[in-house]
Structure 1
Amino acid sequence: MDPITPGTEEHDRAPGRRPPRDSLTAHLVQSAPALARTTRIVSGDFLLTVNPVDGSEIAPVPPGTPGAGTPRRRSAEERAEAEYAALPPGAEESEVELLARQEVRESLVQLLTRGRSVRLTGPAGAGRTSLLDLVAEDCTDLAPDGVVRLTGAHRTADDLLRDLFHTVYDAPHRHPEPDELRTLVKEIGAVVVVDDLEFGGASLSGLLDATPECAFLLGATPDIPAPAADLEVEEVELPGLDRAASMEILERTLGRALTEEESNWAGDLWFESEGLPLRFVQAGALLRQREQLRAGAGVVDEYGVFEDVRPPAEAVFGVPVEEDEAEEVPLPSLGEAAAPAPLLASRLSSSARATLRFAVALEGEVPHQAHLPALVGDTHADAALAELSACGLVSRAGARYRLASSVRVQLEAAGYGDDAAERALTAARHYAWWAGHPSVAPERVCAEADAVLAALALLAPAVRQQTEGEGNEAEAEENCAVRLAHAACAAFAAGLHWNAWQRTLRVGTEAARLAGDTAEQAYFHHELGVLALCEGQLDRARTELEASQGLRAALADKRGTVAGRRALALVADRAGD
């Protein structure tokens, strides 16, 4: 089962504490406990059993535990298969963004061939991701471990080291401790391509020092801190396109030569945009939409969305428009071309516009297209992503899509963020059910981590304690952030995205405190203690675990108390108490 719309299904999992929903015979037969997913992870010399019900259990690794030995290197075929599986839907290269880039491309390949690391710096929308993809293809045979593509979006240097480890080694349930991690990645020889890098300075130095046999190709925007002065990293700037290449983008998009009026309009846009390819992809979409409006509607569009889901011409122009007048659609003004997102969005399907509203609410993160039918309430909503991509409103970020540069600001100014709280709540309810479903692999939840964390960040501060007399609906709404944090943190732990695990635990702890949910507070404190123990922070582990034990004693939670007592005993043993 691939759960996108809520349903029921049983699996062989660890027993939980809650009975099944809608039990029609509860008054006749005692309900069986709900089923939950447990996962075993080897972290250093600890064996961690992630249990989303009573809290994770931690113990020394028994001899002969699977996954505790030296991990196996993946073959080139396995790496290629994993890389292909991680690509977001529709992630084919856009040739129009690669015009006039051949010289830069060859320069980057030559530097990497000599074993040099390079930082490619360019503003958002300069076509950096597409260029990195092409250079990666050119470098396939340069290093023993091939090319490793990583995303730096919301990732620290330690996160990237662990991503590199799991890309090269086959260790699905292994979270090596820092010393072991550095020993293993030190042996990796690869060309590592990192797009959307978010750090520089000492953090970048630590990343490169830990991987002496790797050559890095780093993509970053100019506002990211530069590498340390003593770090041997070549700096390459990615400029905008010249006027001829920018015009060619528009002609390829339209499939014809530009008229004189269109050429003059595009020339003004080129001067204003400094030749950023993304702006001309969006401008091409504006001209394409203009042609569609002039031609009139009447057939199914290229994405399979029927005509009745598109707004009429009156909705686009704001005034009644006769059929013959629609054929005289003027070119967008320079202001509309400079900030095209609202105009582009107004001419898309209702599902695409709803997807944009969700993305604005989720801090620019676009939910995976498999979630869109459930979120939007339209069975054809998964086609919305193709519409948004064709218009240049979204851009690829690793295995996901985000709103393209400045699109979120433009849409918020047009009112797309007015219902952000409601959209975030809808997304949180869906993700809370989906992330906790036993049939959903933890890796899939980790891939959606940015959207889940964005929903939590918006909802958690608004949580309040339920007052006496409030109904079930109010309780469900107020506890949504707590339920999502509980479901997601277990998946993040099992999926080895421990940065997201820690962030979710902290948000969940605060949300549970605001909601007055003692049981959930105990769970989150216990998990924070276990995480601190895995990271060698014994004092912090003791503090969190003792806080959890105090709350569970008040609740008379025997099973949770036993798990906490065992973890505290392990802390005392490690501390020599």
Structure 2
Amino acid sequence: MDPNTREPEDMGQDGDGHTPGRRPPGTSRAADFPPPAAAPARTVRLVSGDFLLTVNPVDGSEIEVCPPADVPGRPRPRTAAERTEADRAAKPPVPSGPAPSPEPLLERQEERERLVRLLARGRSVRLTGPGGSGRTSLLDLVAQDCAGLAPDGVVRLNGHRRTAGDLLHELFHAVRHAPLHRPDRDELLEHLREIGAVVVLDDIEFGGTALDELLDATPECAFLIAATPDVPAPSADSAVEEVFLGGLDRAGGVELIERGAGRILTEEEANWAGDLWFESEGLPLRFVQAGALLRQRDRLRAGTSAVEEFGVFADTPPDDAPFAGGDGGDDDVPLPSLGEAAAPAPLLASRLSASARATLRFAVALGGEVPHQAHLPALIGDTHADAALGELAGCGLVSPVGSRHRLAAGVLTQLEAAGYGDDAAEQADSAARHYAWWAAHPSVTPERVTAEADAVLAALAVLVPLTAPPAEGEESTAVHLARAAAPAFAAGLGWSAWERALRFGTEASRLAGQVAEQAYFHHELGILALCGGLLDRARAELEASIGLRGALSDRRGTVAGRRALALVADRSGTAPGLGAMAALGPGEETPYLPEEPVSPPGGVPAPFPALRPPAEETSGTLVTYQPSDSGAPTVSHGPSGPPSHAPARHRAGLKGFARRNLVAAGAGALLAAVLGTVV
């Protein structure tokens, strides 16, 4: 074709030689571009016990007996580099901005040395102290001192909203390299008996028999456990040493305030600090917050006269010089009252940046959970909002909890009283929409979603009770978030969070009237129960899912549910439930699973069943059809047969088929015997 000579089909859109006119202004060009291809479903295959689980976020997870080729090998110990990376991941992220210089703990050297001595002897210790007493800071120092005591090093765990089973699995994965493998109970205990480590467990929430279970499963480990006084104590025969952590004395409290303020206190401030020490019972957190109050006060008292042309503080006084009081003018700011110093969160928050205050509102809405600093710019709408975490940490308003941050002890109650929770539902909805988009993004790994599980579940806890049927063309935020987060929790081996997300999703989908999503959550709960060996619960959840999907004519989901239910029936030695039989369409059969043949629960039947005596043959039940007013079949009984009010059509099930086969086989055997006698 000559490029200089255009053919008719090259001219215009319809080949009529007319070029289309200019597009009217304001007309969308979306129709000119093909819709983007949908992202492929992120499926993950993992091994749980002797099952091979395929996490499918579309139709529901699939489960089967693990083929021999997919059985994982024995998990190996982690290398030194892998242990270092795991220890780094167990710590909270470093806030943006200049890192604060490490300061030695005040009046904690005696407790520190005692804890190290007990752990070096292989003893387990429980450190008990109220919130704000510095338990986490002391644990960090003891962990550094015990780095070379055990062959598997020091393992950091956090017990906030964790059960003993959760902690056992986390300990296993922290010491052994077993990706996408969740061993069953027996295999897990076998591996844990070989682990020798110093386990630093902070914020534990259980004691008694649950703590005994944790200690008995790890006989070669020494535990350093931190708890508050309201946590149940260890059992009497657990041999756990108790160490109590109290408050600081008055001199230690004043020194801690001076560190926070960056200068020496005046006489008035020292007296104020003494009154605060008496009110706060010497808790270090209160003195950290008091130092932040004085630091903010100094900045306010400096006024605009101390700011240069470019907005930078000029002529900063030496750190060891007391602040010269003002002349009582407009720049003079009085000391906070004793009540404000005892509950300083509202006053501290009022002097922070707008991003820091917005972060506090999200934390209050999420029940104290502070979103990761990487999410703050998207949640708040400020590209520099990640620096808010550093502000909050410097004021003592947040404290580290495992690999994340929470509001410090007492801060949540103080902020709620100040009105920071008035828009909690709106803030939780914004956080849930963001997390739903983020958790479903293909670039986000399941491990990252699992690390943010507490904030995600906190958003669901707020939204699920408020769920209502959505308007046409909309979707429920709670259902969307649970649907996006649950598969990620499963693939990230956070199965406690997986179960909570599924239960939240089940309730939210029921309230929203979304039957398809409700069937999905029931199916996943059945798979989870099957992996945990809870066969009755698995059967109930799977039958509920199959019934809902059968009503929706969801063939793919129904088949996946029947396969899982057949596996439950094989493990329990019973036939599939009535829900699965009712979901079978016309001409469909129960799906066949390519497994090894399994003997029936009652054993292999004999070739010829034993013949009954003639007297017993007259006591059977004869089912005949006779016209009647009700249209129901009539049941006739033998002389000794008990009356039955069940409809005859219910007798045509599996037992009816088996009885007819036995009668036919018996009649054939009897006929063969008679003919042989005659011949």
TM-score (normalizing by structure 2): 0.75
Pick closer, same or farther for the CA change 1:217–1:23 going to 2, 3 Å. Answer: farther
1:450 to 449, 454, 458: 454
* CA distance in structure 2 between the aligned counterparts of 1:417 and 1:94, rounded to whole angstroms: 34
Q: Contact 2:262/2:295 (CA < 8 Å) preserved in 1?
A: no
Q: What's 2:537 paired with?
A: 540
Q: Contact 1:93/1:130 (CA < 8 Å) preserved in 2?
A: no
Structure 2 residue 477 is matched with structure 1 residue 480:
yes
Matches within 5 A, 1:304-319: none
1:108 to 84, 91, 115: 115
SS for the counterpart of 1:119 is strand
Which residue identity is paired with 1:367? P
Q: 1:559 offset after TM fit, Å?
A: 1.7
Q: What's 1:367 paired with?
A: 371
Q: What's 1:56 paired with?
A: 61
Structure with the bigger RCO (C-alpha within 8 Å, sep 6+) is 1
Q: 1:552 offset after TM fit, Å?
A: 1.1
2:222 to 215, 229, 238: 215
Deviations 1:376-399 (A, max 9, x none): 111111000000000000000000
Q: Contact 1:305/1:380 (CA < 8 Å) preserved in 2?
A: no
Q: What's 1:72 paired with?
A: 76
2:526 to 515, 526, 529: 529
Which residue identity is paired with 2:391? E
SS for the counterpart of 1:133 is helix
SS for the counterpart of 1:508 is helix
Unaligned runs of 5+ in 2: 1-27, 314-325, 575-679
Pick closer, same or farther for the CA change 1:249–1:482 going to 2, 3 Å. Answer: same
* CA distance in structure 2 between the aligned counterparts of 1:305 and 1:576, rounded to whole angstroms: 78
Pick closer, same or farther for the CA change 1:452–1:306 going to 2, 3 Å. Answer: farther
SS for the counterpart of 2:68 is coil
Structure 2 residue 356 is matched with structure 1 residue 335:
no
Q: 1:23 offset after TM fit, Å?
A: 11
1:503 to 500, 505, 513: 500
Q: 1:556 offset after TM fit, Å?
A: 1.7
* CA distance in structure 2 between the aligned counterparts of 1:369 and 1:300, rounded to whole angstroms: 30
* CA distance in structure 1 between the aligned counterparts of 2:479 and 2:459, rounded to whole angstroms: 12
Q: Contact 2:90/2:157 (CA < 8 Å) preserved in 1?
A: no
Pick closer, same or farther for the CA change 1:130–1:73 going to 2, 3 Å. Answer: same
Q: Contact 1:76/1:146 (CA < 8 Å) preserved in 2?
A: no
SS for the counterpart of 2:200 is strand
1:84 to 80, 83, 88: 88
Q: 1:72 offset after TM fit, Å?
A: 1.1
Q: What's 2:561 paired with?
A: 564
Pick closer, same or farther for the CA change 1:247–1:574 going to 2, 3 Å. Answer: same
Q: 1:97 offset after TM fit, Å?
A: 7.0
Q: What's 1:15 paired with?
A: none
* CA distance in structure 2 between the aligned counterparts of 1:139 and 1:93, rounded to whole angstroms: 24
Which residue identity is paired with 1:69? G
* CA distance in structure 1 between the aligned counterparts of 2:265 and 2:283, rounded to whole angstroms: 19
Q: What's 2:361 paired with?
A: 357
Q: 1:95 offset after TM fit, Å?
A: 4.8
* CA distance in structure 2 between the aligned counterparts of 1:465 and 1:275, rounded to whole angstroms: 52
Q: 1:489 offset after TM fit, Å?
A: 0.7
Larger helix proportion of the pair: 1
1:37 to 9, 25, 42: 42
SS for the counterpart of 2:333 is coil
* CA distance in structure 1 between the aligned counterparts of 2:241 and 2:311, rounded to whole angstroms: 47
* CA distance in structure 1 between the aligned counterparts of 2:328 and 2:388, rounded to whole angstroms: 29
Deviations 1:211-236 (A, max 9, x none): 00000000000000000011100000
* CA distance in structure 1 between the aligned counterparts of 2:488 and 2:116, rounded to whole angstroms: 39
* C-alpha RMSD of the superposition: 2.3
SS for the counterpart of 1:64 is helix
* CA distance in structure 2 between the aligned counterparts of 1:520 and 1:162, rounded to whole angstroms: 30
Pick closer, same or farther for the CA change 1:47–1:24 going to 2, 3 Å. Answer: farther
* CA distance in structure 1 between the aligned counterparts of 2:108 and 2:287, rounded to whole angstroms: 16
* CA distance in structure 2 between the aligned counterparts of 1:305 and 1:547, rounded to whole angstroms: 65
Moved more, 221-230 or 241-250: 241-250
Matches within 5 A, 1:137-176: 137-176=144-183
* CA distance in structure 1 between the aligned counterparts of 2:75 and 2:444, rounded to whole angstroms: 25
The count of residues paired between Structure 1 and Structure 2 equals 531
Which residue identity is paired with 1:44? G
Q: What's 1:489 paired with?
A: 486
Q: Contact 1:100/1:245 (CA < 8 Å) preserved in 2?
A: yes
SS for the counterpart of 1:440 is coil
SS for the counterpart of 1:150 is strand
Pick closer, same or farther for the CA change 1:25–1:61 going to 2, 3 Å. Answer: farther
Q: Which has the larger radius of gyration?
A: 2
Which residue identity is paired with 1:481? A
Q: Contact 1:97/1:249 (CA < 8 Å) preserved in 2?
A: no
Q: What's 1:513 paired with?
A: 510
* CA distance in structure 1 between the aligned counterparts of 2:154 and 2:386, rounded to whole angstroms: 31
Moved more, 547-556 or 107-116: 547-556
* CA distance in structure 2 between the aligned counterparts of 1:215 and 1:486, rounded to whole angstroms: 40
* CA distance in structure 2 between the aligned counterparts of 1:300 and 1:518, rounded to whole angstroms: 62
* CA distance in structure 1 between the aligned counterparts of 2:545 and 2:29, rounded to whole angstroms: 32
Matches within 5 A, 1:29-428: 32-65=37-70, 68-90=72-94, 95-96=102-103, 98-296=105-303, 325-428=329-432
TM-score (normalizing by structure 1): 0.88
